[in-house]
């Protein structure tokens, strides 16, 4: 894995199980690097889809990538509150100034009113069959969606607003400098 440090600007690249690049995000800034995870942020990031469509995100996002957990957590700071979008994925790798991971379809969406929704379960089952996910991957994916729900319900980091705001302040200071 390539070494990164606070302040580095990287790209994000999401793959599918078959090795095909699924999405790219431009310019994400590293806010923290530690032994278990990295935290980065982007604002109005340019996203390129597999079909070539390009669009920009609408708000600041603070993103947590883990070295040993099969998910990432994206905290979207919107005008009406904090939304979380959590992808079930492989632990990240960094290569060529790019954060890379394999996306396993199932997502968790958490709303500011503390409601949540598990998304894309049918897409997961479709890709599981089509791309022949192993039983081990299936067990990991199902375990991690439940693990993620428990972390959220217990308001553990990164689902703790005080903890999250620490990174928002770091981002604001970095952008000012």
Write down the domain spans for the chain.
Answer: 9-176
Neighbouring CB atoms inside 10 A of 13's CB total: 18
Give CATH for domain 9-176: 2.40.380.10
Residue 2 pLDDT exceeds 70: no
Q: Give the separation between CA 113 and CA 91, rounded to whole angstroms.
A: 29
pLDDT, tens only, 70-128: 999 999 999 999 999 999 999 999 999 999 999 999 999 999 999 999 999 999 999 99
Q: How confident is the model at residue 176 (pLDDT cuts 50, 70, 90)?
A: confident
Arithmetic mean of pLDDT over the chain? 94
pTM: 0.95
């Amino acid at each position: 894995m390539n070494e990164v440090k606070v302040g580095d600007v990287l790209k994000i690249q999401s793959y599918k199980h078959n090795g095909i690049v699924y999405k790219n995000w431009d310019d994400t800034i590293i806010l923290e690097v530690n032994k278990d995870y990295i935290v980065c942020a982007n604002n109005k990031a340019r996203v390129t889809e597999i079909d070539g469509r390009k669009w920009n995100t609408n708000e600041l996002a603070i993103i947590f990538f883990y070295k040993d957990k099969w998910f990432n957590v994206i905290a979207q700071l919107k005008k009406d509150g904090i939304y979380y979008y959590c992808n079930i994925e492989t632990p990240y790798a960094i290569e060529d100034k790019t954060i890379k991971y394999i996306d396993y379809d199932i997502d968790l969406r958490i709303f500011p009113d503390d409601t949540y929704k598990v998304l894309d379960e049918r897409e997961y089952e479709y890709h599981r069959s089509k791309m022949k996910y192993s039983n081990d991957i299936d067990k990991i994916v199902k375990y991690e969606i439940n693990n993620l729900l428990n972390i959220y319900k217990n308001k553990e980091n990164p689902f703790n607003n005080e903890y999250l705001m620490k990174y928002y302040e770091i981002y604001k200071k970095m952008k000012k400098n």
